[in-house]
C-alpha cells in the first residue's frame, strides 16, 4: 500500500542527482512524505517522497520560499497536500483534459518598515477560493498539484519506471483504513510518535 522504490528509481523520479540528494539531506533541504524528517529504511523511498520533493522544488522556484522553508512546509502540512493529491488524482480520472485547479499557495504580506523578512502564509485548496481568502492583503504565488503529478509521471515515463494508477487511497475506498495504519506505522518507524498521528482528512 505504501509503494516504495529504490534510491536509483527515486533519483530518476525526481531528477535529483545522488550527491545533491545527500547534501540536501545533510542540511535539512530534503522533503519526504507523511511529515517525517528521516526515512525509516535505508534506500527505500515511497513514491510520495518523490512527489514531495517535486512540490518542494516548485515552491522554491515558483513561490519564493527557500528550499529549506519549502521542505519544512511540506513536512508540517503533509496531510493538507496529500488530501489535494487524493482529490486531483480522481478528478483527472474523470476529466483527463482539464485541470482541477487545486493548489498550494504562498501568500506574501507586504514588507513593512523595520522588517527584514516578509511574512507569508501557506494556503491549500481551489485556486479561486485561495484568491478570495487572500484578498488584497497578500500577493499569492501558486503551485498546481496536477502539474506536480504530471511532472512525476513524465519523469517516470522517461526513466522507464512504472507507477501505479493512483498514489493515494481515498476515504470510502477499499484499503483506506489499512493505508492509514501503514502511514501511522511508517511515521512511528521514522521517529514520529503515534500519539501525534492524525487520520487523513477525507478526500
d(CA 180, CA 155): 27
Give me the pLDDT at residue 1, please.
59
Give me the pLDDT at residue 169, please.
96
- The count of domains in the chain is 1
Residue (of 31, 2, 36) closest to 16 by Cα position: 31
The mean pLDDT values, 10 residues at a time, for the chain of 203 residues are 91 97 95 92 94 98 96 97 97 93 92 71 95 82 97 98 96 95 94 56 43
Give me the pLDDT at residue 195, please.
45
Let me know if residue 125 belongs to a domain.
no
Let me know if residue 62 belongs to a domain.
yes
Let me know if residue 201 belongs to a domain.
no
Let me know if residue 131 belongs to a domain.
no
Let me know if residue 48 belongs to a domain.
yes
Distances (CA, A) of 192 to 23, 105, 184, 196: 23, 26, 9, 7
Beta-bridge partner residues of 119:
none
Q: Whole domain around residue 184: which residue ranges?
A: 4-99+144-196
Give me the pLDDT at residue 200, please.
46
Residue (of 57, 7, 22, 49) closest to 190 by Cα position: 49
Let me know if residue 41 belongs to a domain.
yes
Let me know if residue 132 belongs to a domain.
no
Give me the pLDDT at residue 115, please.
62
Let me know if residue 108 belongs to a domain.
no
Amino acid at each position: 500500500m505504501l509503494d516504495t522504490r529504490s534510491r536509483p528509481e527515486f533519483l530518476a523520479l525526481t531528477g535529483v542527482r545522488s550527491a545533491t540528494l545527500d547534501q540536501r539531506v545533510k542540511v535539512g533541504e530534503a522533503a519526504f512524505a507523511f511529515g517525517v524528517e528521516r526515512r525509516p529504511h535505508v534506500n527505500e523511498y515511497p513514491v510520495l517522497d518523490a512527489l514531495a520533493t517535486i512540490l518542494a522544488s516548485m515552491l522554491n522556484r515558483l513561490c519564493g520560499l527557500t528550499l529549506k522553508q519549502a521542505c519544512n512546509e511540506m513536512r508540517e502540512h503533509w496531510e493538507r497536500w496529500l488530501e489535494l493529491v487524493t482529490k486531483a488524482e480522481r478528478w483527472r480520472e474523470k476529466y483527463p483534459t482539464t485541470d482541477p485547479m487545486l493548489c498550494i499557495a504562498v501568500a506574501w504580506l507586504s514588507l513593512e518598515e523595520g522588517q527584514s523578512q516578509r511574512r507569508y502564509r501557506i494556503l491549500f485548496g481551489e485556486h479561486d477560493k485561495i484568491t478570495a481568502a487572500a484578498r488584497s492583503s497578500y500577493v499569492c504565488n501558486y503551485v498546481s498539484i496536477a502539474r506536480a503529478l504530471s511532472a512525476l509521471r513524465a519523469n517516470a515515463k522517461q526513466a522507464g519506471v512504472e507507477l501505479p494508477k493512483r498514489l493515494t487511497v481515498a476515504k470510502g475506498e477499499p484499503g483506506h483504513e489499512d493505508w492509514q495504519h501503514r502511514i501511522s506505522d511508517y511515521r512511528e518507524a521514522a521517529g514520529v510518535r503515534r500519539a501525534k498521528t492524525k487520520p487523513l482528512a477525507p478526500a
